[in-house]
Structure 1
Amino acid sequence: MELKEKIVKAFDQRFGGKGTLYASAGRINLIGEHTDYNGGFVFPGAIDKVIMADIRPNGTDTVNLYSIDLDEKSSFGLSEEDAPSQQWARYVFGVCRETLKRGGVVKGFDAVFAGNVPLGAGLSSSAALESCFAYALNDLFNSNSIEKFELAKIGQSTEHNYCGVNCGIMDQFASVFGKKDCLIRLDCRSLEYEYFPFSIDGHRLVLVDSVVKHELVDSPYNKRRQSCERVAKRLGIDTLRDAEMADLEAVKGDISAEDYMRAKFVIEEKERVLDVCDALNRGDIDTVGRLMYETHRGLSKDYEVSCEELDFLNDIARECGVVGSRIMGGGFGGCTINLVADDKYDHFIATAKEKFNAKYGHAPKIYDVIISDGARRIEE
């Protein structure tokens, strides 16, 4: 049964009749990793994997939710003290509260939702959930008067204030602003953005999920962030966004070898995002792929956020003639994102499954993704 049919049927069974259907997408980031907190650029796009909800105002001050995927329900009021205990329901509660805090209108509603965004693969299913409900509440109760950037910030604030995750804006931004066949270059400092056509005829994007997440004894993200901040301070600038490699070389003797490597990656990655945008404008897919491999090498050797399994998958991609491949996300497990020519696809997938299974005792999961629209109302 199609996702849409499943949701409509479950809504009728639980609440009777029909609501209005909304969806928002998971996301990929083609290039631009660990650049967001350094004031740089990211280059995400929404994908054809979504969270979808059927929603109808109920004339009360109570929200009634049913998650098909978890087979769980939750009901809560709209005041701060009404926060639900279930973690999944807090995402929707947080969106309601953050909308109200901004002067928006939210009233009671009934909703059924489900999704096909793979969990744990780094595709931001939580941002898709937040964006779906933020868009829906804006449409149902606020005549779409809340600007799209504010919808993304509602999702981000939900993570910060109700879910305990101090995330950046990229995931929610991509989920709200996603546009079919386009990637979005977002300037994480000014929040200016630009769409770039992502036409890759004869190629496809595929994620290879290692199904591995290494438990970390310290906080590696905070340590890397501190390295970047120390170098920026030594250079007398706010963030590494304003640094060039010549600036870094000039202070190399004054900073630790580790701080040097971390800063080197960030400065080079800033330039790679811009170079990928230029290459796409020229239709130069080979340069896009080469820069993806360079990012993987930097993440593995300079930023040191890779792991054995992800490096192994990257090596297989290179051996199979994949155009570009790199870690996607924070690292230490998760996925590689791969730009694959159609005629190399079957061989690459078969080889990755066979070799990874032989070495690690389980096959990776494979997700083909297509760049698609973000948050939207689904017309019947």
Structure 2
Amino acid sequence: MMNLQTVRKYFKEHFNGEGSVYASPGRVNLIGEHTDYNGSFVFPGAIDKGMIAEIRKNGTDKVRAYAIDLDESAEFGLNEEDVPAQQWAKYIFGVCREIQKRGGQLEGFDTAFAGDVPLGAGMSSSAALESTYAFALNDMFNLGIDKFELARIGQSTEHNYVGVKCGIMDQFASIFGKAGHLIRLDTKSMEYDYFPFDPKGYKLVLLDTVVKHELASSAYNKRRESCETAARTIHDNGNPEVEFLRDATIEQLDAVKDKISEEDYMRAKYVIEETQRVYDVSEALEKGDYETVGDRMYKTHDGMSRLYEVSCEELDFLNEEAKKHGVTGSRVMGGGFGGCTINLVKEELYDSFIEEAKKSFKEKYGHEPKVYDVVISDGARKVE
């Protein structure tokens, strides 16, 4: 986690004195990808990288914020028309506004923050930032907002102030994270369960391709439409219980194969199979069976690459490298079209795998992938 002393030092320099310190983590998602908008499951865990902020009430009606990593300051009021110009400040402003819309009484405060969640690597630095402030303001102003609502405040901030129509998973994981546990969240009912994740003898590591192909948002919307079309067609084919693809079986999908496009069929097949993989992984985690977990990760990658078509050449290359070096499980993590693979690696294979993957990736693509080791950790909290 970002150095506490650093944040304290900058806060003191900028605002003369000290406040309270809060932190929230980024997240990884072990399995359950492109399932959230299909009413299915996701399986995230909070990680040991995140955002940390020092905050103190300042007795005014203005927020004065300093972004340590960017060396930028912003000052803004708490009314709708006070929206700040800087993108990063919009996250803090949005959280304040969403709290106020829910009846929370806020006043001005000073804050400095920094983070060590790699930006653009799919570990949700923005959710970590939102969760830090939602948690902190709730605590400091004694607002009594429950944890679910804190996650929704972060999600609404994305929707209303950042312009990203995200699901709830990132903020949920950041608020509800628990060391040594992954969370299986049912995005339809919002019920959740903690599953033990303490793979003795294994490491969890992300390899970042450092590429982002410019397909993401239009491609995402197209896939969403495909899934909705398939679910509607199954529903109308005498299956009234099918509201989302998570409610459907492969047999029901096969029965409407001639009524939908081949593309819609492939997308739907991936989602239905991915839902089953989440169940398989749940069972495997309860038994401490990480070989099965790894096998399902590879199958998810295959599905995302072949059926959902959201992988890319660089991600497929890293997935093949993982197979070649005996890595237990590997798959593309996140929306796709670039970003990271998440890998479950036996400790004794770790060094050779990382070394070889970096070398062969550089030979082919001219740069090394970035490497991030992650440990499953606690969610939003007061530090001191």
1:1-380 maps to which residues of 2 (within 5 A)?
3-143=3-143, 145-216=144-215, 219-236=218-235, 237-379=242-384
Secondary structure at the counterpart of residue 185 of structure 2: strand
TM-score by length of 2: 0.97
**Change in 2 beyond 3 A, CA 1:111/1:358:** same
Q: What are the ranges of 5 or more consecutive residues in structure 1 without an aligned counterpart?
A: none
Tell me if structure 2 keeps the 8 A contact 1:105–1:142: no
Amino acid of the structure 1 residue aligned with 2:82: D
Distance 1:17 1:82 in 2: 26
Tell me if structure 2 keeps the 8 A contact 1:104–1:142: no
1:2: Cα distance to partner? Answer: 6.2
Amino acid of the structure 2 residue aligned with 1:5: Q
1:17: Cα distance to partner? Answer: 1.3
Q: CA RMSD in A?
A: 1.1
Tell me if structure 2 keeps the 8 A contact 1:11–1:111: yes
**1:330-359: CA deviation from partner (whole Å, max 9, x where unpaired):** 000000000000000001000110000000
1:142: Cα distance to partner? Answer: 2.1
1:218: Cα distance to partner? Answer: 7.5
Distance 1:377 1:60 in 2: 23
Distance 1:2 1:52 in 2: 7
**Change in 2 beyond 3 A, CA 1:377/1:217:** closer
Aligned pair count reads 378
Distance 1:248 1:50 in 2: 41
1:30: Cα distance to partner? Answer: 0.2
Amino acid of the structure 2 residue aligned with 1:86: Q
1:217: Cα distance to partner? Answer: 8.6
Distance 1:247 1:238 in 2: 13
Tell me if structure 1 keeps the 8 A contact 2:2–2:50: no
**1:293-344: CA deviation from partner (whole Å, max 9, x where unpaired):** 0000000000000000000000000000000000000000000000000000
Which residue number in structure 1 is paired with residue 239 of structure 2?
A: none
Amino acid of the structure 1 residue aligned with 2:48: D
**1:198-247: CA deviation from partner (whole Å, max 9, x where unpaired):** 01000010000000001129711111111111111111132101101111
Tell me if structure 2 keeps the 8 A contact 1:313–1:352: yes
Distance 2:79 2:2 in 1: 35
1:106: Cα distance to partner? Answer: 1.2
Secondary structure at the counterpart of residue 310 of structure 1: helix
Distance 2:364 2:59 in 1: 57
Structure 1 stretches of 4+ with a deviation exceeding 2 A read none
Distance 1:269 1:371 in 2: 22
**1:274-302: CA deviation from partner (whole Å, max 9, x where unpaired):** 11010000111100000000000000000
Q: What are the ranges of 5 or more consecutive residues in structure 2 without an aligned counterpart?
A: 236-241
Distance 2:287 2:188 in 1: 26
Distance 2:229 2:76 in 1: 45
Distance 2:2 2:329 in 1: 32
TM-score by length of 1: 0.98
Name the % identity.
Answer: 66
Tell me if structure 1 keeps the 8 A contact 2:319–2:341: yes
**1:113-135: CA deviation from partner (whole Å, max 9, x where unpaired):** 00000011000000000000000
Distance 2:67 2:2 in 1: 16
340-349 vs 212-221, greater mean Cα deviation: 212-221
